[in-house]
Chains A and B, each alone.
Chain A
Amino acid sequence: AAGVIQSPRHLIKEKRETATLKCYPIPRHDTVYWYQQGPGQDPQFLISFYEKMQSDKGSIPDRFSAQQFSDYHSELNMSSLELGDSALYFCASSLSQVDEKLFFGSGTQLSVL
């Protein structure tokens, strides 16, 4: 069965650079969530989208932006990267915004040097 695809798996950037993380949800899933998991931390909700519109926002820095495209894939754009942005970034998708079953991708490990 198709799963949530995230790319890239690993990303290394320098401070003050920009990064773009991509997420391809399971086919027919119209809701996408982004989470950030720092080393030894629990995942923290960043932002979610339903039908290409932002549906909820968590502790996402102003330096970060995200969108969901017409094919339902989503991109998380991160600018002016800081050392503290080093984390595992998860994307999850669900069949609808009222479906509590989230399916997670394998994550993108971002390292900021």
Chain B
Amino acid sequence: AQTVTQSQPEMSVQEAETVTLSCTYDTSESNYYLFWYKQPPSRQMILVIRQEAYKQQNATENRFSVNFQKAAKSFSLKISDSQLGDTAMYFCAFYIQGAQKLVFGQGTRLTINP
């Protein structure tokens, strides 16, 4: 079975600091994708960043970047220069080609303090 584990239920940092959210996953598949989704208080599910497992280069999207360690099955999210609007629940998710579903981790509640 495929599982996604986020070991940090809550994190809190000051505005402008850098924060890293952890995620590990378990699969025997070789063709898959990893995602970080943000869910603000509005509860809208917003895609933050996406990584293809076959790509060694870490994905980046402006202030968001990932550290993808395929052998360790680790996929952490780094948020640089954090902003108040980054306050949200962050879910790590995993999609296996052919399984046609996204599997989510338990989430990390991130609070950015002014």
Contacts and interface: CB of A to CB of B under 8 A. Distances in A.
B101 A98 contact: no
Given A100-B33, A100-B97, A45 B102 contact: yes
Contacts of B107: 42
A80 interface: no
A97 interface: yes
Contacts of B103: 45
A103 B102 CA distance: 11
A104 B105 CA distance: 17
B78 interface: no
B100 interface: yes
Contact of A50 (B44, B50, B100): B100
Nearest to B109: A40
Interface in B26-63: 33, 42-47, 50
Given A48-B100, A97-B100, A100-B95, A42 B105 contact: yes
Interface in A52-88: 55-56, 58, 88
Contact of A107 (B44, B91, B97, B106): B44
Interface residues of A, number: 27
A65 to B, nearest CB: 18
Interface residues of B, number: 21
B75 interface: no
A98 B98 contact: yes
A56 B100 contact: yes
Contacts of B45: 43, 90, 92, 104, 107
29 contacts: A31-B100, A35-B102, A37-B43, A42-B91, A42-B104, A42-B105, A42-B107, A43-B45, A43-B102, A45-B103, A48-B100, A48-B101, A55-B100, A56-B99, A56-B101, A88-B43, A92-B102, A98-B97, A98-B100, A100-B33, A100-B95, A101-B47, A102-B95, A102-B102, A106-B42, A106-B43, A107-B43, A107-B44, A107-B45
